[in-house]
Amino acid sequence: MVDLSAPTSAPLATAPSRTEAGPSGRKPRRSISRANIFLYGTLIVFALYYLLPLYVMIVTSLKGMPEIRMGNIFSPPMEITFEPWAKAWSTACTGLNCDGLSRGFWNSVQILIPSVVLSIAVASVNGYALANWRFKGADTFFTILIFGAFIPYQVMLYPIVILLREMGLYGSLTGLVLVHTVFGMPILTLLFRNYFTSMPEELFKAARVDGAGFWGIYFKIMLPMSLPIFVVAIILQVTGIWNDFLFGVIYTRPDLYPMTVQLNNIVNSVQGVKEYNVNMAATILTGLVPLTIYFISGKLFVRGIAAGAVKG
Amino acid sequence: MNTFKLFLAGASLLALSTSAKAVDLEVTHWWTSGGEAAAVAEFAKAFDATGNKWVDGAIAGSGGTARPIMISRITGGDPMAATQFNHGRQAEELVEAGLMRDLTDIATAEGWKDIVRPSSLLDSCTLDGKIYCVPVNIHSQQWLWLSNAAFEKAGVPVPTNWDEYAAAAPALEAAGIIPLAMGQQSWQTSLAFQVLVVALAGSDVYNKVYGDKDAELAAGPELAKVFEAADKARAMSANSKVQDWNQATNMVITGQAAGQIMGDWAQGEFAVAGQVAGTDYTCLPGLGVNEVIQTGGDAFYFPVLKDEAKTAAQGELAKLMMSPEVQVAFNLKKGSLPVRGDVNLEAANDCMKKGLDILAKGNIIQSPDQLMSADSLTQVNDLFVEFFNTPSITAADAQKRFADIVASAD
Amino acid sequence: MAADRKPSQLFRNLNAKVAAIPMILTACVVFVGGTLWTITYSFTNSKLLPRETFVGLEQYERLWSSNKWLISIENLFIYGVLSLIFSLVIGFLLAALLDQKIRFENTFRTIFLYPFALSFIVTGLVWQWILNPDFGIQKVVRNLGWENFTFDPLYNAEIVIYGVLIAGLWQGTGLVMCLMLAGLRGIDEDIWKASRVDGIPKWKTYLLIVIPMMRPVFITTLVIIASGIVKLYDLIVAQTGGGPGIASEVPAKYVYDAMFLSQNLGQGFAGSTMMLLTVLIVLIPWAYLEFGGKKHG
Amino acid sequence: MTSVSIKDLSLNFGEVKVLKTLNLDIGDGEFLVLLGPSGCGKSTLLNCIAGLLDVSEGQIFIKGRNVTWEEPKDRGIGMVFQSYALYPQMTVEGNLAFGLKNARVPKDEIDRRIARAAEVLQIEPLLKRKPAQLSGGQRQRVAIGRALVRDVDVFLFDEPLSNLDAKLRAELRVEIKRLHHRLKNTMIYVTHDQIEALTLADRIAIMRNGIIQQLASPHEIYNKPVNLYVAGFMGSPGMNFLEGAFAPQGASELSFGVTRVPLERYPFVSDERPGKVIFGIRPEHVTCGPAAESEPFNTEVEIEVVEPMGADTLVWAILDGREFRFRVDGQSQLREGDRVRIGFDPAKASIFDAATELRL
């Protein structure tokens, strides 16, 4: 057959320019048009509202105490000192131990990793089972689970203390990991279920036809395609578990207390006068891990949320 | 050379015998601020000296934050080795449930019965004849702390009792000084009220209302007088916008405020700030009207532990807390009074001395914690924090609601 | 001949059921079990430790006669309704603005969402400092000249809940914006072209066409926001401690204080049962919409 | 008076030139089809006319008015989309009235227009229903109705039928044609389906890489393709292409392999005689069997594959070693391997310069 792709010159003779006077070509858009002012204006005003606290935290954490007492919290620091950060990290005292937040940091990491891994693994399997393997009663359990998302933690404190005691896990790291898995499960399962239901049905049917079983499909087909929702799950769980104070302090012992307990102790124990700069430095330090994880995967988070929440 | 070796053997033997083997004891408490932390350090130092190790489990945020954690840990079956509670009925149910260790054998061995004065402290620890806690200090709420500098600035002589102090309020305000510093936490406003009751209505009215839950007396004229004073106190502390008690104390130390009704643990803050009783600040027990000491304060309970060595170490810690030297060192730093009558505190400043001789004279009252259940006490606290923060509630309706609470209190 | 009978319902896709056991356990033992346990003990006068001395509705009578509880319900209602409305309105507005293919979209989105990564305790502390009359906004504005400018919500009983709202919105709207943006990006491009050809201004297209189309997204967002509102606790503790007085009390704090401060489990459980009731009222319509309404799969 | 006139229009997304100095004049009431493969710029051109895309250079006139910078709503155009783009939450009546309400047209006028449109498109029973409750065809009619009620000058269709099944597509095609006769509005119709183009268009503009290859009547485009691309694009099964060359002595004969085709009857449009040419003849212009004798050119071919398609049968044969297709009547008994005589009249053929691919 003849090769048709060869480009052909324009058959019509290029007539002389026929454009007349009057508007022609791209419409000149004034870059400072009224719509743009409103658009960027509102965004900037909201951006300031959102950035204000971060600005205050950073600025105050770099000031010495005299400068704080005298000036107001919005003025930039005259002479910047990192002493409050050092103190918050290593020397701030909570009761007897004066080793700042550092002790809590490694505890938090030790709590975070297993909790995030376990809770996401369990929730993703739940979501997958609910989405593709409709078994009788599955939806009723799911509704109970969603109902669980609404129950305030305080209500469940006591029953879980008893539950863990009977299982002999009270006060141990495993106990806390289990608690985080339980309380993370509702919303995560909801997200995973929505995500997997939005996946094309044919994919799942094709795999079934090829003889792949429940786990085969999960690992070979579903998992590889669910990076966005995994990112969302990781961000939600990391922020939730890292920032938790209540469970960390009730279900573990002092040598396992997460960083938030140290933060609470530093901020709430007043050596003479309240050291705002150390408190703020400690606050930023505690928020650093979830913030960094969020900054790294912000974009994926939006795409994941789209798939996870929208198709619900 | 061999003497050295001998000495080594002896020392290790000695160490071995006294404390079987070095053991870590986790102690939870809520002393995280200024003077308190220094005081706890005394306990820790003394205990570490015995070869064991004090593992500090401080939880900041006053009893409100700490107690739930302690209770959950104990009921959850993973208790700490020792924990702080206030004198009174907070740990009552834990003891009844058999979760707390019986210290009667140590108490009798050490003869606590006759050294602890006032004996009511030990009574709060006893249940059907057995002793379950070690009282470590006496904190009396019945104190008014005044900043001499503030009164000089206002050109008013330092008052000696409540009425003079109330009369000086306008002058203080004129000088831009907040007459009465008051933290916004509920226990602080409630403390101020019951100090006013003891001072203006007298100890027996206090005992009848808080102890016997006498509702008509609570609604009666004596209490009405006290509610008037409370209304006055409310006006005086209207714009003291701080949250924690030691922030309020700090306002007195720096002269921003003229005075504060607070327990004797405030002395710790004055000490840390390097102020001297008598010259920089003045202390009026019982608001200078009815000099009385309230036996509030703290005691240590020892949950039952399975580990043999730890139980032994617990006994050691209990004995140590009651020993004279530790009592002196601890109470000096804490600004509280020792529980042992046979200890003299020459190093104590004159406010502590005032407290000691009131204690010696024996006019003592029990603290609300010892008289009322936590449930009723919290209702009283909520009433007064609401009263102090809502000017629209008049003294009369506050009294009526107080009487209702007392009627249903247990 | 029974061999070829269809395998009983139970063993069909056994794997799925085995895999779902953790979910079933959590749902039944923890949530259902825990809730039932709480409800039963709300009819007892358990103090520090649970005990089975039944007292009927006594705890509930005391609950509804307690001033602190009534204030906390009122606060939760005000905070709940306003936070729902504002976070949806602000969330949608920001999403719509970001949907206009503007420059710096990523930076703006990161700015709006970073608070979500911080804990409520951090949020509470920072906003407590900002709203503090002695060194916060009020002092700054006064230094600028307006001498009697007063902005101290956290110390004014009537409007303290709005101070909490400002902090709550700061923390929560970022996520709502993300959900809305995701919803907007799901709308078919032709709908926009059609409305432009029909000469309908943008804001009307958003209001009358796009929002009705985004019903599922709104429902999911409502579930997520509502579940956050009911559990409001750490923000109150960190920002106002329930003060001034008991003006910013919330049910979750009432339950916590009752259980641990007043050492009265019975009263705490009564409060929490009431909270579960309000949750049911919110949840039943959602469950119906999600499963009942459109039977699918 | 031209209804729509496009002057030197170019559009580029960044560096990519999507439309290159394009000129097009569309008569009043004319039905013009923009035909081409996906990505040839036909939809982009339509969106430019509608005002949904800003042009880079050039002007657009509608009814003599320069609308280059006008908003879509002020251009007097209505548009029907491939995905219908009906407002899902509104009833059919709501969809029709929404644009008018917004333009503050009085209520009774709105009702009158809706009634007229409903009658023209026979959608009276559907007015109260929601789009979700309509079939594809009904939704398409409502989409047309939305433009109809606004009494627009020009209707723009963006592949409106491609979402429908074949049978429904045929029905709606006829309806659109009937609508055009009745309304006499100018219509610009974008599609990649040549059947739609051939049946609906007064004129067809075949586009490729942003350039109009040929702008002519369906018959002209089908029978007189101006270049190899147009010839190849139109007709299915496509035109037979045979590479060949002019016999040395002048232009009277074309030779490929051993076959000689007499060209006396071929209407040459250019007098160039390049070395290599491509000879094209459509399968349906080839006669088979005894009648082939009378054709100016006939030869014998061996049949390779027979494809019966009901109404007629497509036969794949070998002509002088090259693949050659022709159509026979549906009842024919031809089978693979038969040798049969075929013939055609070169007047119906097309010859292209192999290098420039232009028609000779």
Instruction: Name the average pLDDT for chain B.
Output: 83
From the list A237, A118, A126, A183, the residue with the least C-alpha distance to C23 is A126
Long-range contacts formed by B324-328: CB under 8 A, 24+ apart: B325/B46, B326/B42, B326/B43, B326/B46, B327/B136
Residue A280 lies in a domain: no
Closest to C229 (Cα-Cα) out of C156, C179, C153, C161: C161
Which of chain A's residues have a Cβ under 8 Å away from the Cβ of C135?
A: 68, 72-73
Q: Where are the domains of chain B?
A: 22-139+296-359, 143-294+365-408
Is a pLDDT exceeding 70 seen at residue A218?
Answer: yes
Residue A22 inside a domain? The answer is no
CATH 2.40.50.140 at D240-353, yes or no: yes
Contact assignment for B68 to C260 by CB distance below 8 Å = yes
> What pLDDT shows up at residue A116?
93
Cβ <8 Å between C204 and D88? no
Q: Angle at CA B111, nearest 5°, toward B106 and B116? A: 105
B80 to chain A nearest CA, in Å? Answer: 8
In a domain, A300, yes or no: yes
**Residue range B381-393: average pLDDT?**
87
Q: pLDDT in tens for each of the 297 residues of chain C?
A: 445 555 566 666 777 778 888 888 888 888 888 889 999 999 998 888 888 888 888 889 999 998 899 999 999 999 999 999 999 999 999 999 988 878 888 888 889 988 888 888 888 888 988 888 777 888 888 888 888 888 888 888 888 999 999 999 999 898 899 888 888 888 888 899 999 888 888 888 899 889 988 887 888 788 888 888 888 888 898 888 887 888 889 999 899 888 888 888 899 999 999 988 888 887 777 777 766 654 443
Q: Which pLDDT value is given to residue D331?
A: 82
pTM as predicted: 0.82
Query: Does pLDDT of D346 surpass 70?
Result: yes
Q: Which long-range contacts (CB under 8 A, 24 or more apart) does D37-43 make?
A: D37/D192, D37/D208, D37/D233, D38/D192, D40/D207, D40/D208, D40/D209, D40/D210, D41/D11, D41/D207, D41/D209, D41/D210, D42/D190, D42/D207, D43/D158, D43/D159, D43/D190
Residue A8 has pLDDT above 80, yes or no: no
Distance CA B312, CA B382 (A): 42
Q: Give the E-state strand segments of B37-125 in sequence order.
A: 53-58, 82-86
Rounded to an integer, the average pLDDT of B111-124 is 84
Supply C242's token pair.
């329930």
Let me know if the fold of B22-139+296-359 is the same as that of B143-294+365-408.
yes
Whole-number pLDDT of residue A3: 39
Residue D1 pLDDT level (bands cut at 50, 70, 90) = low
Name the nearest CA neighbour of C260 among B292, B378, A285, D62.
Answer: B378
Q: Do chains B and D touch (3 or more CB pairs under 8 A)?
A: no
pLDDT, one tens digit per residue, over A77-123 is 888 888 888 888 888 777 677 777 888 888 899 999 999 999 999 99
Contact A150 C227 (CB under 8 A): yes
pLDDT(B19) > 50: no
> What percentage of chain D has pLDDT greater than the value 70?
99
* Tens digit of each residue's pLDDT (9 = 90 or more) over D79-93: 998 888 888 888 999
Identify the residue with better confidence: C75 or A216: C75
Which positions in chain D touch C208 (Cβ < 8 Å)? 87, 98
Cα of D82 to nearest chain C Cα, Å = 8
Q: Which two tokens stand for residue C228?
A: 């956050």
Whole-number percent of chain B with pLDDT over 90: 2
Across the interface, do B60 and A264 touch by the CB < 8 Å criterion?
Answer: yes
Q: Do B37 and A261 touch (CB under 8 A)?
A: no
**Cα D248 to Cα D199: distance, rounded to the nearest angstrom:** 42
Residue B381 CA to chain centroid, in angstroms? 16
CATH number of the B22-139+296-359 domain: 3.40.190.10
pLDDT, position C292 = 60
Tens of pLDDT, residues D108-126: 999 999 999 888 888 889 8
Question: Is residue D316 pLDDT above 50, yes or no?
Answer: yes
CATH architecture of B143-294+365-408: 3-Layer(aba) Sandwich (3.40)
Selecting from D58, D226, D232 the residue whose C-beta is nearest the C-beta of A4 gives: D232
Least confident of A177-181, B355-359, C10-14, D188-192: C10-14
C–D CB contacts, 8 A cutoff, strictly below: 59
Of B243, B377, B386, nearest to C245 by CB-CB distance is B386
- CA of D8 to nearest chain C CA: how many angstroms apart? 24
pLDDT at residue C6 in the model: 58
Give the CATH class of D2-233: alpha beta
Query: What residues does each domain of chain D span?
Result: 2-233, 240-353
The answer to the question of residue A183 being in a domain is: yes
Q: What mean pLDDT comes out for the span B9-14?
A: 46
Helix axes C120-130, A276-305, angle to 10 degrees: 130
ipTM value > 0.95: no
Task: Give me the domain span that covers residue A199.
Answer: 113-257+289-310
Per-residue pLDDT at D33? 93
Of B165-179, B250-264, B348-362, D92-106, the least confident: B348-362
> What mean pLDDT comes out for the span B338-354?
78
Structural domains of chain A, count = 1
* Of residues A8, A14, A18, nearest to D357 (C-beta): A8
Would an 8 Å CB–CB cutoff place C56 in contact with chain D?
no
